[in-house]
Amino acid sequence: MSSAARPAPPEAQKDQSQLRQKQMIARHFDRLAAAPETGEKCAYTFVPGNLSELLLSFGVLPVLPEINSLQSAMRGKSAEYISIAEKQGHSEDVCTYVKSDIGMLLSGNIGPTGQRLPNPDLLLLSYTGCFTFMKWFELLREEYHCPVAMLHVPYQADGHVTPAMRQYVVEQLRRKVIPMLEQLTGRAYDEERLRECLKLSAQAEDDLVWVLHSARSVPSPIDSYFGAVYYLGPIFSSFRGTPDAVAYYRELRAEIADRVRLGKGPVTPDGEMGRERFRVVVEGPPNWTSFRQFWKMFSDEGAVAVASTYAKVGGVYDLGFRHDPDHPLETLADYCLGCYTNLSLPTRIDLLVRYLRDYQADGFLINSVKSCNSFSAGQLHILREVESRSGRPGGFIESDLVDPRYFSAANIKNRLESYFQMLEQKRPEGRA
Amino acid sequence: MSAPTLAELLERAGGLYRDYRLGSVREWKARTGGLAVGYMPIYVPRELLHAQGVLPVGLMGGRDDLEIIKGDAYYQSYICHIPRSTIELGLNGSLDCLDGLLFPAICDVIRNLSGMWQMLFPDKLVHYLDLPQNFERELGGEFYRQDLLALSGLLTARGAAALDPEALRRSISLYNENRRLVRELYDLRRQKPWTLPTHELYLVLRAALVLPVEDSSALFRDYRELAEADPGRKPLDQARVLLTGSFCEQPPLGLIKTLERAGCYIVDDDFVQVHRYIRGDIATEGDPLENLVRAFLEDAAASSTRYIDEGVKGEELLLRARESGTEGVLFCAPSFCDPALLDQPMLVRAVDRQGLPWTAFKYSENSGQFQVIREQAGTFADSIKLWSNA
């Protein structure tokens, strides 16, 4: 059957909060598209360790290349973009987010809304939890010839933040990042404005955490891996610190509270999910090229992700961190230092074991993506350790972020089905 | 004891290179009662360890003769080879003699390996050396100084001598001498590559990783003297190439020999980079710890693992190419090596701007077949000899 004759998938069911988010995103991309005319400055930056509030306080618009790459994958564009980058000499071995972004740039830099993204006025390289970020912006610098503000965030190798680590980040913010933003915008650093943004962040974070914790209910009203992608959109990207984000999370919380009250499970793109049969914790990012198909492999089996580590790459708020307006630069430092991929392997293992317990999960799954060594190197060790410490069975599947060549649907489905069968067999008698 | 012949020296170096169980380190420990601490590529300030009476031991993974039994169970197929061979050597007891292992911040794989090591070997010292990517003294420099002091404290807690400024000055002097000798070897190879074939020089550099600095300097001196005195070393009509990308996981020795047999004189490379990561001498006057910090900030090689702030990517590579009279560049990186492979398009662009011919291939430390690389390198060398204007 030709692709032209293939029936379109049914339209995904959307909650009111999702529609609100869609409008927020549309407005943001409109502003970006108009930036060359309006003169608004924009900075490209990354999700983990993003400095949204600081950018907001300077009136700088953020662009997040990771989000563009995953959006390219969801729109079926990433294969072409990756191919373009590989033809330019980028290795088949390296991160496909990078290659998709570079392919998109070389194809006219058309963003997810079909509008052209502005060139960056600044590359804000927040080097948090991922070595590839540094190389990515070295590559982009060669394309855009714009300044780079580098913020080196130390790694929590021993499971905690030391005063020296915090001080290092704060001083870089004070002496490097802020002066570059001042120079870029012609505005002086306004700490009061930053405090206001941080206050709004903390409000939104409270509601987000409430939503994430709602998955402790049985049945869980949310999916904390696939569904969480939508819930995290505003806070991980351009809206943390805005009144829009506060309104979004308030609305989302109310919707989820209703679902809890009614004893409902998550909403999937295909509608209300059926009976919750398996509660799983998921480690690793999702695959974006077949996101909906991947989710369906879970929901068809009645499997709900009740917690995930991917939902913490932009901040581990559920362990208590909140942006603190009383200590603006210190809190930005703590935020950057605390993102999930900046945590040591033993800390990641502790977190997974804790999730399994706190969310009454039947087991855990690792989706190991080829592109991301920050996540993937050590995941087989994580698998063994978490199994051993929690006594819950683990499953392991492999795919990629945005390269469809590495998503083998039949293979993944087969593994998932076997895994869920195993969970069924291991289930204590009397539990269905 | 009479001076060794060149063959004996190379035999000894080969033995040290091949000894996974680090026999020389075990002997040193038995003799001195000191601590021995390993380090992963590509750079740690060995002077600090030496000053505290600790033997720094450079680890660079395995080779093609190491059977990976357990290590593969820890890593997916799309992750480079060095962490799996390192795990293998840890789990099979080869590294038992080490009292600890340092993991410099060079990539996410080595970073995560540090966490695994903490869990697999809880009785050993494990330290992630978070090398700063900010190179201003008051920012990255201060952070780095604090990290070095923390490391020093960890060594002392394990029984090493306390850090003494005078001892550190002496250690810096010894390592300055050591680096000078390596620079001289590289200079000589640039001038007369037939005198120091890379497969030999490489063995000597690898052997030095497990020796005390005094012995390693003696090895470098002896090697140079013996190689220069060997009348059998005559120039061949080979292409002069610079090899880049091999700073962490190392190629098998057979691959280096293959490149040379295919018609390449390797006149510069980034093998075993710890010997040349700091480019010049480190000052010995004043605060020696400060001097170590300054050297890292201001005089380190432009590695792919290091953020190039104000500089131009590839500038140093081109400088090295000019200084070595390079006729072509070999991009020779391990499979799945993020720093090398993400850097490569930028370095290729720089090399293209310079009009230098280049070719690229990948390897793994346990690669066993070199025929394809031999043909590629041979064709490349031939094309340089026949047609290049470089």
State pTM to two decimals.
0.96
Q: How far is A62 from chain B (nearest CA, A)?
A: 22
**The tokens of A38 are what?**
């309006």
Q: B15 at the A interface (CB within 8 A)?
A: no
Please judge whether B115 and A370 are an interchain contact, meaning their C-beta atoms are less than 8 angstroms apart: no
In a domain, A415, yes or no: yes
Q: How far apart are CA A236 and CA A233, in angstroms?
A: 5
User: Which residue of chain A is at minimal alpha-carbon distance from B83?
Assistant: A377
Q: Is the ipTM of this complex over 0.90?
A: yes
The per-residue pLDDT for range B138-196, each reduced to its tens digit, is: 999 999 999 999 999 999 999 999 999 999 999 999 999 999 999 999 999 999 999 99
In a domain, A60, yes or no: yes
Residues of B in contact with A388 (CB under 8 A): none
Closest CA to A98 of A118, A126, A68: A68
Please judge whether B74 and A130 are an interchain contact, meaning their C-beta atoms are less than 8 angstroms apart: no
**Nearest by CB: B342 against A135, A148, A157:** A135
Cβ count near B120 (within 10 Å): 15
Q: Residue A431 — very low, low, confident or very high, per pLDDT cuts 50/70/90?
A: low
**Token pair 């030999």 is at which residue?**
B200
User: Which residue of chain B is at minimal alpha-carbon distance from A150?
Assistant: B134
The CA angle A291-A294-A297, to the nearest 5 degrees, is 150
Q: B348 at the A interface (CB within 8 A)?
A: yes
Region A321-332 average pLDDT:
98
DSSP state, A249? H
Residues of B in contact with A178 (CB under 8 A): none
Closest CA to B336 of B82, B109, B78: B78
- Which domains are assigned to chain B? 20-163 (3.40.50.11890)
Q: Return residues 211-270 of B near A (CB < 8 Å).
A: none
In a domain, A6, yes or no: no
Q: How far apart are CA A11 and CA A14, in angstroms?
A: 9
Q: Identify whether the C-beta of residue B276 lies closer than 8 Å to the C-beta of residue B187.
A: no
Please judge whether A377 and B79 are an interchain contact, meaning their C-beta atoms are less than 8 angstroms apart: yes
User: Which residue of chain A is at minimal alpha-carbon distance from B132?
Assistant: A152
In a domain, A407, yes or no: yes
* Predicted confidence (pLDDT) at residue A122 exceeds the cutoff of 60: yes
Q: How far apart are CA B53 and CA B51, in angstroms?
A: 5
In a domain, A172, yes or no: yes
Q: How far is B330 from chain A (nearest CA, A)?
A: 15
In a domain, A149, yes or no: yes
User: Which pairs from A203-207 meet CB under 8 Å and 24+ separation?
Assistant: A203/A246, A203/A249, A204/A234, A204/A235, A204/A240, A204/A245, A204/A246, A204/A248, A204/A249, A205/A235, A205/A315, A205/A317, A205/A321, A205/A322, A205/A323, A206/A322, A207/A246, A207/A249, A207/A250, A207/A252, A207/A253
Q: How far is A21 from chain B (nearest CA, A)?
A: 33
Q: Which domain holds residue A48?
A: 13-426
In a domain, A337, yes or no: yes
Amino acid at A354: R
Q: B78 at the A interface (CB within 8 A)?
A: yes
Strand ordering across the sheet containing A148-152: A61-63, A42-44, A122-127, A148-152
A282 pairs with which residues across the strands? A308, A365
User: Which residue of chain B is at minimal alpha-carbon distance from A127?
Assistant: B133
Q: How far is A324 from chain B (nearest CA, A)?
A: 24
- Which H or E element spans position B56? strand B55-58
**Nearest by CB: A152 against B118, B134, B147:** B134
Residues of A in contact with B338 (CB under 8 A): 94-95, 131-132, 135, 373
Q: Which one of B81, B297, B307, B335 makes the best mutation probe of the A interface by having the most chain A beta carbons within 10 Å? A: B307
User: Which residue of chain B is at minimal alpha-carbon distance from A400?
Assistant: B78
Q: Report chain B's mean pLDDT, rounded to a whole number.
A: 96
Q: Residue B236 — very low, low, confident or very high, per pLDDT cuts 50/70/90?
A: very high
Closest CA to B82 of B364, B297, B375: B364
3-state helix, strand, coil in chain B (%, to 5): 50, 10, 40
Q: Is the dihedral of CA B23, B25, B29, B31 positive or negative?
A: positive
Burial class (CB in 10 A: 0-12, 13-18, 19+), A284: buried
Give the pLDDT score at A10. Answer: 63
Q: B343 at the A interface (CB within 8 A)?
A: yes
Domain total for chain A? 1
Residues of A in contact with B336 (CB under 8 A): 93
Q: How far apart are CA A181 and CA A186, in angstroms?
A: 8
The per-residue pLDDT for range B339-379, each reduced to its tens digit, is: 999 999 999 999 999 999 999 999 999 998 899 999 999 99
Please judge whether A345 and B134 are an interchain contact, meaning their C-beta atoms are less than 8 angstroms apart: no
* Predicted confidence (pLDDT) at residue A112 exceeds the cutoff of 90: no
Please judge whether B76 and A376 are an interchain contact, meaning their C-beta atoms are less than 8 angstroms apart: yes
**Nearest by CB: B116 against A88, A98, A345:** A345
Q: How far is A284 from chain B (nearest CA, A)?
A: 14
The CA angle B104-B72-A370, to the nearest 5 degrees, is 70
The per-residue pLDDT for range A11-53, each reduced to its tens digit, is: 666 788 989 999 999 999 999 999 999 999 999 999 999 999 9
Q: How many residues are there in chain B?
A: 390
Angstrom distances, CA of residue A340 to CA of A15, A309, B58: 28, 7, 31
Q: Identify whether the C-beta of residue B316 lies closer than 8 Å to the C-beta of residue B283.
A: no
Q: Residue A3 — very low, low, confident or very high, per pLDDT cuts 50/70/90?
A: very low
